[in-house]
Amino acid sequence: MIEKKYSYKLTDAKTIERIISDENLDINHMVLPKGESLPEHFSNSNVYLIIANGRLTIKLNEQKEATYERGDIINVPFKIRMLIYNEHEELLEFFVVKSPSPKKMK
């Protein structure tokens, strides 16, 4: 077969999983129940957050927090401090696409 299949977990539990990590890009899958967050960190590439379910609240650098919802795609540039969390009842599920791969970023 020419194609390669990748899978991700179908769950309601907090999940942080790497789906793809190669020389071209990284794709991660995240599930955050209400009250859960990711550790504050700096973007290590050009980051695209694709919200599949729920509402994502994000604080970038010193900006005021913003909330985005299912169907939104958010771009976070390289080397931006970010904090992502779910403060809503609905389960938050999103994908993180990093391009190019952080392995190529300086």
Q: Is residue 73 assigned to a domain? A: yes
Domain-located, residue 7: no
Buried b (16+ CB within 10 A) or exposed e, 7-30: ebeeeeebbeeeebeeeebbbbbb
pTM for this structure? 0.94
Structural domain including 74 reads 15-104
Q: Say yes or no to pLDDT of 45 above 90.
A: yes
How many domains is the chain partitioned into structurally? Answer: 1
Q: What CATH number should be reported for the domain holding residue 29?
A: 2.60.120.10
Asked if residue 1 belongs to a domain, the reply is no
pLDDT at 23: 87
Whether residue 18 contacts residue 32, with contact meaning beta carbons closer than 8 Å, is answered with no
Give a yes or no: residue 5 inside a domain. no
In this predicted structure, the answer to whether residue 71 has a pLDDT above a threshold of 80 is: yes
